């Protein structure tokens, strides 16, 4: 954890981060769940998944070397054996990609988000979630979280086989969707939501006490994290 960055500062001084999302996931992740954390940063959600899915597995993706090293150290200190850390980006292609690292690593992405000063430009490996799952023999994913500062649409495109397969696909998808970041990729909140709807997912936001509310145009002004559930899943909302 880096206390001089926004995520680390929130955890250090507040003891938690994204409390509504945390409460919801802690309640919904089964002990045998297979979880994927895309844009793991220093591992807040990775650790939450690993602790809750103690009999399952977590596949974390983080291209920044320092963050990946901190995450490995955290996993080792906590004696967790159910986490695999992949030091690469996820997108809609396989190869290498230019990656803009900001002074606060949480704002880093394939494009410069311009939300924090640019520190350096790296070349990092990139793959698709579909390719990774096939290569590693991962048969299903139960929970998918992606916070990649605008590249969420690329992650979705690179997971099209998974999201199309009702026998393998996640029953919870949590995406950070912020128009300013998405526009750098020629995308938008509306576009990503429409893409997910084509895969038969419905959008929600997580409000106080982990209650779900159907996503609406008004939600965009107040919520960046959008929860997607399969249309076949019965959901209790406000």
Q: Rounded to two decimals, what is the model's pTM?
A: 0.88
* Inter-CA distances, 67 with 11, 43, 82, 129, Å: 15, 8, 18, 20
Q: Kindly state the tokens that stand for 43.
A: 């591992």
Q: What are the boundaries of each domain within the chain?
A: 6-209+223-230
pLDDT in tens, the chain (238 residues): 454 444 544 444 455 678 999 999 999 999 999 999 999 998 999 999 999 999 999 999 999 888 999 999 999 999 999 999 999 999 999 999 988 776 665 656 665 555 555 667 889 999 999 999 999 999 999 999 999 989 999 999 999 999 999 999 999 999 999 999 999 999 999 999 999 999 999 999 999 999 999 999 888 777 899 999 999 887 655 5
Nearest to 1 by CA among 52, 75, 60, 51: 75
Domain 6-209+223-230: assigned CATH number: 3.40.50.150
């Amino acid at each position: 954890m880096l206390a001089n960055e926004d995520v680390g500062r929130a955890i250090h001084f507040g003891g938690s981060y994204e409390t509504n999302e945390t409460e919801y996931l802690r309640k919904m992740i089964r002990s045998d769940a297979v979880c994927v954390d895309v844009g793991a940063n220093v591992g807040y959600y990775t650790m939450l998944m690993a602790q809750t899915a103690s009999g399952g597995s977590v596949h974390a993706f983080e291209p920044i070397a320092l963050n990946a090293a901190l995450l490995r150290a955290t996993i080792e200190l906590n004696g967790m054996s159910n986490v695999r850390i992949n030091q690469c980006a996820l997108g809609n292609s396989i190869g290498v990609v230019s990656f803009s690292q900001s002074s606060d690593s949480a704002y880093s992405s394939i494009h410069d988000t311009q939300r924090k000063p640019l520190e350096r430009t790296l070349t990092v490996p990139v793959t698709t979630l579909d390719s990774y799952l096939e290569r590693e023999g991962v048969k299903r994913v139960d929970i998918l979280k992606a916070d990649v500062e605008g590249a969420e649409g690329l992650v979705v495109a690179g997971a099209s086989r998974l999201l199309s397969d009702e026998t393998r696909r996640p029953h919870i998808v949590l995406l950070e969707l912020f128009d300013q970041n998405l526009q750098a990729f020629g995308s938008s909140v509306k576009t990503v939501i429409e893409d997910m709807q084509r895969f038969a997912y419905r959008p929600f936001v997580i409000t106080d006490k982990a209650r779900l509310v159907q996503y609406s145009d008004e939600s965009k002004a107040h919520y960046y994290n959008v929860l997607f559930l399969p249309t076949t899943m019965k959901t209790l909302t406000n």
